Amino acid sequence: MFTMQEIMETITMVQDEHLDIRTITMGISLRDCAHADVRVSCQRIYDKITRLAKDLVPVGDELAREFGIPIVNKRISVTPIALVAEAADTENYLAFAQALDRAAKEVGVNFIGGFSALVHKGFTVGDRRLIDSIPQALAETERVCASVNVATTRAGINMDAVFRMGEIIKQTAALTADRDGLGCAKLVVFANVPEDNPFMAGAFHGIGEPECVINTGVSGPGVVKRAVEKVKDADFGTLSETIKKTAFKITRMGELVGRAAATRLGVPFGIVDLSLAPTPAIGDSVAEILEAMGLERCGTHGTTAALALLNDAVKKGGAMASSYVGGLSGAFIPVSEDEGMIRAVVDGALTIEKLEAMTCVCSVGLDMIAVPGETSAETIGAIIADEAAIGVINQKTTAVRLIPAPGKVVGDFVEFGGLLGRAPVMSLNPFSSADFVRRGGRIPAPIHSMKN
């Protein structure tokens, strides 16, 4: 039996500290949907997704009621579309994005990820067509998310892809200029991308994955923040131990809900992603956890160390709570989706250079950052290259999700609304990187990639 304190702790976590299951994501293989005729292929895609995911939303809602814990998002990830569409006799992959969008609407999920290509060593014909189709696909669909992997520790950095993605991000912003460049919020450029990530916008269903799978992402910055506040004057050992225990409890809920969802949907359970994912809601902020550790503002000196401690403790606690951990599994530091991060930028405490340093010790990377609309494709490419280098050398995932908001300058705000939040436009280094980015070719894999 349980003690009153234990029961109240769980109830308080949900009611007062924003504990929720951030996402149940169904991964679906579309490899059997390839066909030379675009219409046939798209019909197969639509039929397969709507068949396998038809109960995803009702089951998610049912579990949320029974366990008394909110399940914020129900989502779908699919095989990278470049692999599926390559067989089709067409140069423009917009039709595939539209098929995904229709299927997502039909089953009631708010995002579907997998308009993706893996080009860390080079492009195939399908990869090029997919990448060229991204701006239009993101402008003309509502729920489709795109991602491109441009580097791995094993392959090095495909600098042709890096520069191309700089151009694609600019084009995507231009085509969605009426919405402050919203399309860019649905586009992630990765290094060392995980193939079982349940979080958008970077989710896709990797080629080593089964036919269909359920992955879950937990949340809970508010719970961790409250726990950190309770050990205000304690030393670092106690602080770390407190976060570990809290992460364990949070992750157990993800494991429970993920397993129950998989059983009810009749598909295998994949992984729990341990990431601490903030939302724009007050008190659901990763930045505020760092501030609760004793930093006046997130971004000041000591922030990287605080984030490293947080990220490590979350992993240690989470790893013990789940039998299969995967995805990104680390703290997220998206600027627009985290009220504390926004405040830190506005107050001048947090700069893009500090964010880059922070990405060395946590998952993801430069996430949901608005930059001036006039930023060149070369500069965006150079930012991607820097992040990719951090990922490749440190054998970790890094990513870039930048919004060069058309017509906006430093100090302006970009409003996306909902979970995507709002972002202050941040300043970048004014000097050019064009000659570097335009060299072309591939930065070789680092020496420590040779492990065999």
**Footprint on this chain of other proteins (rule: CB under 8 A):** 1-2, 4, 6-11, 62, 65-69, 249, 252-253, 255-256, 259-260, 263-264, 269
Q: Please provide the distance, in angstroms rounded to a whole number, between the alpha carbons at the two ends of the chain.
A: 51
- In angstroms, the CA 138 to CA 177 distance is 12
- Closest to other proteins by CB, 268 vs 283, is 268
Contact 293, 306 (CB under 8 A): yes
Minimum CB distance to other proteins, residue 317 (Å): 12
Contact 97, 139 (CB under 8 A): no
- Closest to other proteins by CB, 34 vs 274, is 274
Contact 251, 318 (CB under 8 A): yes
Minimum CB distance to other proteins, residue 234 (Å): 22
- Closest to other proteins by CB, 239 vs 261, is 261
Minimum CB distance to other proteins, residue 269 (Å): 8
Residue in 117, 166, 121, 164 with CA at minimum distance from that of residue 444: 121
Rama region for 59: left / alpha / beta (φ>0; ψ in -120 to 50; rest): alpha
> Residue 329: which residues within 8 A CB-CB, separation 6 or more?
273, 274, 275, 315, 318, 363
Minimum CB distance to other proteins, residue 74 (Å): 18
- Closest to other proteins by CB, 6 vs 347, is 6
Minimum CB distance to other proteins, residue 251 (Å): 10
SS3 289: helix
- Closest to other proteins by CB, 256 vs 420, is 256
Map tokens 């941040």 to a residue.
426
Find the helix or strand (DSSP H, E) in which 187 lies.
Answer: strand 187-191
Map tokens 């530091």 to a residue.
333
- Closest to other proteins by CB, 66 vs 91, is 66
Residue in 367, 423, 50 with CA at minimum distance from that of residue 197: 367
- Closest to other proteins by CB, 68 vs 122, is 68
Minimum CB distance to other proteins, residue 256 (Å): 4
- In angstroms, the CA 268 to CA 258 distance is 10
Minimum CB distance to other proteins, residue 9 (Å): 8
Minimum CB distance to other proteins, residue 274 (Å): 15
Residue in 88, 93, 100 with CA at minimum distance from that of residue 28: 100
- Closest to other proteins by CB, 62 vs 356, is 62
Q: What is the CA radius of gyration of the chain?
A: 21
